[in-house]
């Protein structure tokens, strides 16, 4: 199965992460990277791996960027990854024994969120469809992120990907603010009847930051992870606060 898979990664100034991500993918014959004109050492690191092919494209939306990457892949299966995803040995072993031509056309993968390399007990990250047949998939935009539309049957793998972002706080804030601008517009433009219960709470602005803090610390067990758990909880609370500020801002326009 591993011989039928091409990893696909999007990058933009991922110097703190990309080396660790690629090191876990050296089993692949080819790795496709779509870079949005990085200005740090990301490209230099990528060119040090012979199986990595880099294509540069100006970023417009996540979906179009991912779909552009799919066009560059020749294999039948794709492993779609962010630059801060670390594929574990357990996941590689599980993928290796999957049937090549079975009934399943795509697989969801669960995540363990890491703070400075330490996996946490829980995360708010939902499973993501990372492994799928190329000819049955296309990406569509959904708020600040993207969703994979797959024709066929899906299943969930039992092992995990580690989400381990080592970029500095200033870069994280820059990215989160960009995401929340898009997310706020989505919440304001979507009819109330079509919003999920959690999105309706987020749209109210005041409660969501405090709810997410309690959710991460208590319901997800972050308080048992020591300062790493508190860091993650405050990080998510800050992201929700940025969203609330953007909602207040757009409400006044």
pLDDT at 13: 96
User: pLDDT tens across 147-188, in order?
Assistant: 999 999 999 999 999 999 999 999 999 999 999 999 999 999
The dotted CATH code for 2-163 is 3.90.550.10
Q: Could you give the CA distance from residue 131 to residue 108 in angstroms, rounded to a whole number?
A: 7
Q: Model-level pTM?
A: 0.90
User: pLDDT tens across 219-246, in order?
Assistant: 999 999 999 999 999 999 999 999 999 9
User: pLDDT tens across 37-47, in order?
Assistant: 999 999 999 99
Q: Where are the chain's structural domains?
A: 2-163, 169-251
- Percent of the chain topping pLDDT 90: 92
pLDDT at 101: 84
């Amino acid at each position: 199965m591993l011989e039928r898979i091409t990893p696909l990664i999007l990058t933009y100034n991922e110097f703190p992460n990309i080396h660790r991500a690629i090191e876990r993918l050296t089993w692949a014959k080819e790795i496709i990277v779509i870079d949005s004109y990085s200005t740090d050492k990301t490209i230099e690191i990528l060119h040090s791996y012979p199986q990595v092919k880099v294509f540069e494209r100006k970023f417009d939306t996540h979906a179009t960027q991912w779909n552009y990457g799919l066009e560059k892949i020749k294999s039948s299966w794709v492993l779609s990854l962010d630059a801060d995803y670390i594929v574990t040995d357990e996941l590689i072993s599980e993928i290796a024994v999957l049937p090549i031509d079975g009934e399943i056309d795509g697989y969801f993968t669960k995540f363990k969120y890491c703070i400075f390399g330490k996996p946490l007990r829980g995360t708010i990250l939902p499973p993501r469809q990372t492994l799928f047949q190329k000819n049955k998939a296309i990406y569509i935009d959904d708020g600040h992120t993207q969703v994979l539309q797959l024709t066929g049957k899906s299943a969930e793998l039992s092992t995990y990907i580690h989400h381990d972002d080592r970029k500095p706080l200033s870069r994280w804030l820059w990215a989160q603010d960009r995401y929340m601008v898009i997310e706020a517009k989505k919440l304001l433009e979507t009819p109330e009847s079509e919003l999920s219960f959690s999105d309706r709470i987020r749209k109210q602005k005041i409660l969501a930051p405090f709810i997410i803090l309690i959710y991460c610390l208590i319901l997800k067990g972050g308080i048992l992870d020591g300062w790493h758990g508190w860091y993650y909880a405050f990080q998510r609370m800050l992201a929700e606060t940025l969203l609330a500020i953007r909602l207040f801002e757009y409400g006044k326009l």
